[in-house]
Structure 1
Amino acid sequence: MKNKPNIRNRYVLMGDLALIVLSVFGALILRFELGSLFFAYLPFGYWMIAVALVIKPIVYYLFGLYRRMWMYASVEELKLIVIAVTTASIMVAVVMLILFTRGFLPGYLRSVFVIDWLLSLAMVGGLRFAFRFLAETRRRFGEMQAGRVKRVLIVGAGDAGALVVKELQKNPQLNLIPVGFLDDNPTKQKQQIHGVPVVGTINDMTRWLEKLRVDEVIIAIPSAPGRVVRMVADIARLKGIPFRTMPGIYELLGGKVSVSRLREVDITDLLRRQPTRIKEEWIGEVLADKIVLVTGAGGSIGRELCRQIARYNPAELIMLGHGENSIFEGLLELKDHFPTLTIRPVIADVRDRMRLNQVFSQYHPQIVFHAAAHKHVSLMEVNVEEAVTNNILGTKNLVDLAIQHRVERLVMISSDKAVRPANVMGATKRVAEMLVIDAALRTGMAFSVVRFGNVLGSRGSVVPIFKQQIARGGPVTITHPDMKRYFMTIPEAVYLVLQAAGMSKGAETFVLNMGQQVRILDLAEDLIRLSGLEPGKDIEIVFTGVRPGEKLSEDLWDEGFQFLSTEHPDIFRSQNTEPLSSERLAEFVDELVNLAREGSSEEIIHLLDQFIPGAVIQSTPPPEITSII
């Protein structure tokens, strides 16, 4: 069956023919202003119209100007129009020159060709883009009639906000129309970005939500601190208006700002801190063209380490972990985002010294990040031997092999629970810190420790547990109303770890500035509200009592210890005054490992309390399996 002709493009051809005539007459009028010379050169104009009517439609056809759906015209189509019109105008000028040399024309007016070319560009392009304008107007009107288009208020008139608006305008299928910006910068007030006005400040949000009949709010300030996100989210929630946000600046590192990155506001946004200055060159100098090994690469911190390390063009990235599924998932993700990076997935246990030695001998890592550890406080209270063998013996194996294979730099990820530990997990991490610092002091190698508090969203952390409890309809269980913890997002924590690695000279214990401690009760209430519910009304909060090994608040350094500032405002250096000599530390570790192999958990706890400054593990109530959750 014969295809039906494209009626729309037939009309375009008819329009072009009319515009060709209009363009020539327009060029003559602009050149001679309807004076006597205009009428004198009318024969020239008739010849030019005849030539143009033959040549231009043919050239336009050859360039595909009659095979386009102009309602979807873009910059590429604009380029095509410029090339086609320019080619056609040159050909017309050449044919007219030939006719002039053969005596058919009374003269040859170069300026008329230039004017005709400019008019043709405007008319041919205008005709085609008029189709897109009409199509978009018709579609918008139809969607608005059907109630499908949502009016969007953008909070933040910076680069991110401008890019979001541009993408919304480029993608009408999203059915989102930006109607205004809010920004606290006074220089941006009453300005326009991509045709969208900056209508006021964030404090004016309530008024503008009503005045502009807003259907959705987008927070487009990746650098906004948590208080700003919280204020916007609270106002939108009270008005019953959906709201979304751009991820924080640390989450966007290596990525781009786009509509696809918009997501629901979550707890990490409410606890965001003001981002500090970024010293990418420090990290690049350490990681570029180096073979980097990450232990615990399948965990929350380890996987984020791998993501961020991959951005700095290492020669190879070795992902070492004990769980094959988590390593496999991490490998797939990295291969998708960094297809040219050489990645070595290694399934190994840091307690297996022979296997670790094979890895070091085969791949020759130059930089090591040690994130492999048992971290759950309550679980380690009932698995003391595992905490010792994994956290202490595993670290000892790694440090010894790093010295043997002359690794350039080693960074151990530690915890605030290592300070005056009240639990087995914290105590074993403190001994692991001692091993790293002692090795650095003995060898002069660039081995260091980075210590920080809880990270939001890590596997098994309080936030995923609260979300599961909320999804089940409650109750949300909290151990104590005054329980406080330091919190930091995973990307921010890992970014600061890499910054600390770039500053390390050896034997430092870096402490990350965790900001203010957050009440767990406040955290739970925020999560309940973000779920569209009310605490105490829709979701009950129950206090279950402090668990074995828990403190009401955490410490980042020992009492009486000095901490020194560094080149980075969010990274401090703790003064190292470890109590044990190298020989005594080695004996202490050997004794702990032997006791772990014998299953002597009570003797392990006694020994940890005896040698770790400020440790109070023995005073912790005896653990019960029901208390771990």
Structure 2
Amino acid sequence: MEKVKNPKRFSLNDNVLDLSDLKFLPRWVILFIDILIIFTSLLASHLLIMGLEVQHYKVFPLAYVFLFIVAVNVLYMYIFKTYLGVIRHSTFVDLFKIFLANLCGVLTVIIINYTYYLSVHEKVVLIPFLGLYFAISCLFLFVFRLCVKGFFNIIKENKRSSTRKKIYILGDDDTSVAIAQVVLSNPNLPFDIQGFISYHDKRVSIKLLDRQIITKTNFINNLRDGKKEVSGVLVIKEALQKEELDFWVNVFLENNLKIYKAPNMQKLRSNEIINHINTIQIEDLLNRRQIKLDNMEVKKRHFQKTVLVTGGAGSIGREIVRQVALLEPLQIVILDQSETPLYDTELEMKETYPHINFKFVLADISNKSRLEPLFKKYNFSMVYHAAAYKHVPIVEDNPHEAVLVNVMGTKNLASLSYKYKVNRFVMVSTDKAVNPTNVMGASKRVAELFVQSLQNIEGNTTKFITTRFGNVLGSNGSVIPHFRKQIEKGGPVTITHPDIVRYFMTIAEACELVLNAGTMGHGGEIYVFDMGEAVKILDLAKRMIKLSGFEPDIDIKIIYTGLRPGEKLYEELLSDNARTLPTSHEKIMISKDPSMDFQEIDELTELVIDFSKKEEKQEIVRILKSIVKEFKSNNSIYESLDK
């Protein structure tokens, strides 16, 4: 039977006929239409024969002959079930069945015709007539089905166009066309592509997929003239340089156009493409092209080796684990003091990397007696130290905890790595350790100094390496998820200061730096990363609000709360008296910060640890300032110690 699913309505007086209400046409109706087409084909064939002044045989009345031909044809239609297919979904298989049914019908008539001739020496049907009938009947039956199919496609497209979001695709290259084809062929996607925006201004008279190509200038001029024919644009982020992406995003946001991000080609081939076309996020605009370094050397350092990752349940630590797991290590030991995140990490890793041998350890890095049995047991080749307290205001109020974790914890791990001859120890540091204005940054700088000092002591075989970078997109507690939650609640978005700026990088990028630093280092280096241009947090907030479809200070208010204790307007990657040395990659540099002798930093760290155990905050910060000369408190109760 024929299924009809048509959204269009036709008015008959006071009655409205909705074709979508007609679920099925009975099979006999389709068969009846096919029989009418057969009769029409016979009539057309007859008229053509008469036009050629050829006479039919008159053995039997012509009407009887025609009825016989129809009966034979209907028999084969029944045998091949040509009337059962859903016409609007007709395929080559359905057309082939019609062809076979008609062919078998004609061949049967020809066999009967010659059998009769052999019996009584008279023919009943003209062979040329049967040939014409076969061709015309196939043609008419094909055309009928194709017309029905086309009719329903037109109606379907009209419905789709009326309910779907009209969008352009940015770009007119092969990738743009491939994405457009997938979007147009997927009925589950809520988009109707109106055309392609060319990156250039050269006018072209051709169309792509029957859609117009509009030049860059014409598109922008149309927007300025108020001729906004679409509600959004689909952007292929990988095809654009950051500057180009920023330009187009500004154009779209200024004209209230939704910006959608196309998936990569691998996801494009997936059946779940509907889950991969999303509105563009602020992370997409801040992200730079992925930096790729010597992956063979990275794999060599980890292949069939045992690796320890501290803070492995945190944002950075977990991504380090993911990347190390791809390098086929012998075992990965994941250590964290936070129970629930560690359990979540265990579930993820065992599901994603079932072939990797993981060990999950719940422990505090400030407890050396808990750590040493691990070093004895596992014979680590690499230690990635990502465990730390990092939230500036909380740490400012609890300097003793900062010292116990960031300083004492690092000291424990680095000392054990030296004692058990770990091949490489890689510490994750922060740009807040440079010219620190808060306890968190100062504690990380002290940890850097201690790690560096171990490099040159007698008998050391471990390479101690430090990596230093800025804010990480999407990490726990970072500003972007915080802003996103505030926008989802309707605002306000809170910013500490209108002039505050920060550097940003992706989690994957940060961890790639960490892994590569472990292979590039000779020991004692502090690696800094080219973070690009600093981002003004106010501009970041405004863009996030616009990308969410709102207007800053109209739909979503922005309020300023004042700098938090220890917070500064801008972060630095290099100290004032540091100089940099290049490495084999232009985006990675070595910071030549002042270092300290092991004996001196060891004694000072023991001193500050002792005061931390007594929770004497002022004395803790005073000692930190004596170690880190450039530590000047800002907006903090400890500013009096700087006088």
TM-score (norm 2): 0.72
Deviations 1:329-373 (A, max 9, x none): 333344454454444333222222233334445555433322110
Q: Does 1:434 align with 2:484?
A: no
Q: Does 1:546 align with 2:559?
A: no
Which of 433, 442, 450 aligns to 1:418? It is 433
Query: Structure 1 pair 141/597, CA: closer, same or farther in 2 (3 Å)?
Result: same
Match of 2:346 in 1: 331
Q: Does 1:200 align with 2:197?
A: no
Query: Structure 1 pair 141/531, CA: closer, same or farther in 2 (3 Å)?
Result: closer
Q: Does 1:241 align with 2:257?
A: yes
Bigger mean CA offset, 472-481 vs 586-595: 472-481
Bigger mean CA offset, 156-165 vs 378-387: 156-165
Contact 2:258–2:547 (Cα < 8 Å) also in 1: no
Give the 3-state SS of the residue equivalent to 2:637 in structure 1.
coil
Give the 3-state SS of the residue equivalent to 2:237 in structure 1.
coil
Contact 1:374–1:391 (Cα < 8 Å) also in 2: yes
Give the 3-state SS of the residue equivalent to 2:192 in structure 1.
strand
Query: Structure 1 pair 609/140, CA: closer, same or farther in 2 (3 Å)?
Result: same
2:605 maps to amino acid: V
Residue 498 of structure 1: how far off its partner (Å): 3.1
Q: Does 1:368 align with 2:380?
A: no
Which of 366, 387, 400 aligns to 1:385? It is 400
Give distance in 2, aligned partners of 1:310 and 1:220: 30
Match of 1:518 in 2: 535
Bigger mean CA offset, 185-194 vs 378-387: 185-194
Match of 2:581 in 1: 564
Contact 2:256–2:549 (Cα < 8 Å) also in 1: no
Match of 2:367 in 1: 352
Deviations 1:88-122 (A, max 9, x none): 9xxxxxxxxxxxxxxxxxxxxxxxxxxxxxxx9x9
Give the 3-state SS of the residue equivalent to 1:154 in structure 2.
strand
Match of 1:443 in 2: 460
1:215 maps to amino acid: S
Alignment of 1:27-426 (within 5 A): 135-144=152-161, 147-157=162-172, 161-184=176-199, 198-201=213-216, 204-205=219-220, 207=222, 213-222=229-238, 224-246=240-262, 258-276=273-291, 280-426=295-441
Determine what percentage of the aligned residue pairs are the same residue. Answer: 32
Match of 2:510 in 1: 493
Query: Structure 1 pair 411/579, CA: closer, same or farther in 2 (3 Å)?
Result: closer
Match of 1:463 in 2: 480
Deviations 1:157-183 (A, max 9, x none): 457644532331231122312222224
Contact 2:77–2:83 (Cα < 8 Å) also in 1: no
Residue 399 of structure 1: how far off its partner (Å): 2.0
Contact 1:222–1:246 (Cα < 8 Å) also in 2: no
Query: Structure 1 pair 164/15, CA: closer, same or farther in 2 (3 Å)?
Result: farther
Give distance in 1, aligned partners of 2:217 and 2:624: 53
Residue 451 of structure 1: how far off its partner (Å): 0.5
1:329 maps to amino acid: D
Give distance in 2, aligned partners of 1:226 and 1:311: 29
Deviations 1:503-530 (A, max 9, x none): 3343321101111222223223333333
Give distance in 2, aligned partners of 1:508 and 1:417: 17
Q: Does 1:592 align with 2:614?
A: no
1:386 maps to amino acid: E
Contact 2:199–2:215 (Cα < 8 Å) also in 1: yes
Q: Does 1:453 align with 2:477?
A: no
Bigger mean CA offset, 406-415 vs 272-281: 272-281
Query: Structure 1 pair 179/341, CA: closer, same or farther in 2 (3 Å)?
Result: farther
Give distance in 2, aligned partners of 1:620 and 1:560: 24
Match of 2:521 in 1: 504
Bigger mean CA offset, 455-464 vs 548-557: 455-464
Query: Structure 1 pair 241/185, CA: closer, same or farther in 2 (3 Å)?
Result: closer
Match of 1:532 in 2: 549
Give distance in 2, aligned partners of 1:515 and 1:434: 26
Match of 2:49 in 1: none
Give the 3-state SS of the residue equivalent to 1:152 in structure 2.
strand
Residue 563 of structure 1: how far off its partner (Å): 1.1
Deviations 1:249-269 (A, max 9, x none): 9x99xx999452232233223
Gaps of 5+ in 2: 1-23, 38-72, 102-137
Contact 1:297–1:306 (Cα < 8 Å) also in 2: yes
Deviations 1:56-115 (A, max 9, x none): 9989x8xxx999878678xxx98x999999x99xxxxxxxxxxxxxxxxxxxxxxxxxxx
Residue 417 of structure 1: how far off its partner (Å): 1.0
Contact 1:381–1:623 (Cα < 8 Å) also in 2: no
Residue 123 of structure 1: how far off its partner (Å): 12
Give the 3-state SS of the residue equivalent to 1:174 in structure 2.
coil
Residues paired across the two proteins, number: 585
Match of 2:131 in 1: none
Which of 568, 572, 576 aligns to 1:555? It is 572
Contact 1:155–1:202 (Cα < 8 Å) also in 2: no
Query: Structure 1 pair 189/508, CA: closer, same or farther in 2 (3 Å)?
Result: farther
Contact 1:453–1:486 (Cα < 8 Å) also in 2: yes
Structure of higher CA gyration radius: 2
Give distance in 2, aligned partners of 1:313 and 1:14: 67
Give distance in 2, aligned partners of 1:69 and 1:464: 50
Contact 2:564–2:635 (Cα < 8 Å) also in 1: no
Deviations 1:514-552 (A, max 9, x none): 112222232233333334333344444444433332222
Give distance in 1, aligned partners of 2:203 and 2:292: 24
Residue 483 of structure 1: how far off its partner (Å): 2.2
Give the 3-state SS of the residue equivalent to 1:443 in structure 2.
coil
Give the 3-state SS of the residue equivalent to 2:163 in structure 1.
coil
Give the 3-state SS of the residue equivalent to 1:560 in structure 2.
coil
Contact 1:456–1:487 (Cα < 8 Å) also in 2: yes
Instruction: Let me know the Cα RMSD of the aligned residues.
Output: 5.3
Give the 3-state SS of the residue equivalent to 1:372 in structure 2.
coil
Query: Structure 1 pair 363/167, CA: closer, same or farther in 2 (3 Å)?
Result: farther
Give distance in 2, aligned partners of 1:160 and 1:256: 18
Query: Structure 1 pair 447/471, CA: closer, same or farther in 2 (3 Å)?
Result: same
Gaps of 5+ in 1: 1-5, 20-51, 89-119, 625-629
Match of 2:630 in 1: 615
Residue 155 of structure 1: how far off its partner (Å): 1.9
Contact 1:297–1:372 (Cα < 8 Å) also in 2: yes
Which of 500, 507, 518 aligns to 1:483? It is 500
Contact 1:447–1:507 (Cα < 8 Å) also in 2: yes
Give the 3-state SS of the residue equivalent to 1:615 in structure 2.
coil
Give distance in 2, aligned partners of 1:450 and 1:421: 16
Match of 2:622 in 1: 606
TM-score (norm 1): 0.73
Query: Structure 1 pair 450/577, CA: closer, same or farther in 2 (3 Å)?
Result: closer
Give distance in 2, aligned partners of 1:503 and 1:125: 69
Query: Structure 1 pair 538/576, CA: closer, same or farther in 2 (3 Å)?
Result: same
Query: Structure 1 pair 609/267, CA: closer, same or farther in 2 (3 Å)?
Result: same
Query: Structure 1 pair 358/477, CA: closer, same or farther in 2 (3 Å)?
Result: same
Give distance in 1, aligned partners of 2:461 and 2:572: 29
Give the 3-state SS of the residue equivalent to 1:222 in structure 2.
helix
Give the 3-state SS of the residue equivalent to 2:188 in structure 1.
helix
Q: Does 1:582 align with 2:598?
A: yes
Give the 3-state SS of the residue equivalent to 1:173 in structure 2.
coil
